[in-house]
Chain A
Amino acid sequence: MVKVNGTERDIAGKTILEFLAATEYDPKRIAVERNQDIVFKSQYGDTVLEDGDTLEIVSFVGGG
């Protein structure tokens, strides 16, 4: 299981890109942290999620 923003999800084995493609997240408006480290945008397709990972997806909305 992978914890995504606090919720356990059965997505171990998928890449971050594969996981994101199945969600509503807009890839241009997010930053992804895996186990407390930023995942480089260029690495989304190469980063395979492992059992026990913690993923934090920060999605930005407009306004400032």
Chain B
Amino acid sequence: MIPSQKEWQEALIQRHGPDLQERFSAASAAICGLGGLGSNIAIALARAGIGRLRLLDFDRVDITNLHRQQYKAHQIGQYKTEALAENLREMAPYLSIELVTERITEDNLSALLDGVDVVCEAFDDPEAKAMLVNGVLEQFPSVYLVAASGMAGMGTPNTIRTRKITKRFYLCGDGTSDTANTIGLVAPRVMVCAAHQAHTVLRILAGEFDV
């Protein structure tokens, strides 16, 4: 038996306090890329009681994703947007979810990302990351952007940190650990970076803009 929306909201208020929870509930975020970063960011924000999430990814769940991404065996082959929405509804049944199952490009970015408070860059490919960051900063001067670079490999998690690059642009990661020259992505280190991104989003919503 799933609790009512009122009970859910009361439980969140009990945890976060009424002021903070009001800010979270009123907010929206877009998550661009639903891999190791994006799926974990989405879960953290959903559990924290953010009001609306827009999930963007063109890809389907692959067996090689399951070592770090928040999908299940029976979801292999499903679109990541639909699979993640399914999982999020089990954790946060009253979250408002919007799905965009297409590739984000320079040309469609302004339409796909319109109407959110914060954008999370959670792509895998460095050129796609740069395209999104430049596009958001150029086309959405009033939106906050939380991006990531450098979280691959078995290095210490202590080098992953959050930097504030400009007034509205935050960058998480160690800045250097590339999938191209490490063993690849390992779940907890990616989760550390995703946690930096998710918590930075919540801090922005709370009006805490320093890092």
Contacts and interface: CB of A to CB of B under 8 A. Distances in A.
Interface of A: 28-31, 33, 36-38, 40-41, 56, 58-64
Contacts of B184: 63
Interface string B178-193: 1110001100001000
7 contacts: A37-B166, A58-B133, A58-B165, A61-B152, A62-B124, A64-B37, A64-B190
Contacts of B125: 62
B126 A40 contact: no
A61 B176 contact: yes
A63 B138 contact: no
Contacts of A33: 165-166, 169
Interface residues of B, number: 37
A interface, by DSSP: helix, strand, loop or mixed? mixed
A38 B171 CA distance: 14
Interface stretch (B1-9, B11-19, B73-81, B143-151): B143-151
Interface centre among A37, A59, A64 (most CB of B within 10 A): A64
Interface of B: 33, 35-38, 122-127, 129-130, 133-134, 137-138, 147-152, 165-167, 169, 171, 175-180, 184-185, 190
Contacts of A37: 166
B130 A30 contact: yes
Contacts of B178: 61-63
B179 A62 contact: yes
B185 A41 contact: no
B166 A41 contact: no
A28 B177 CA distance: 18
A64 B166 contact: no
A64 B33 contact: yes
Nearest first, the 9 A-B pairs at minimum CB distance are A61-B178, A38-B137, A64-B124, A62-B179, A60-B129, A60-B126, A63-B152, A63-B179, A29-B126
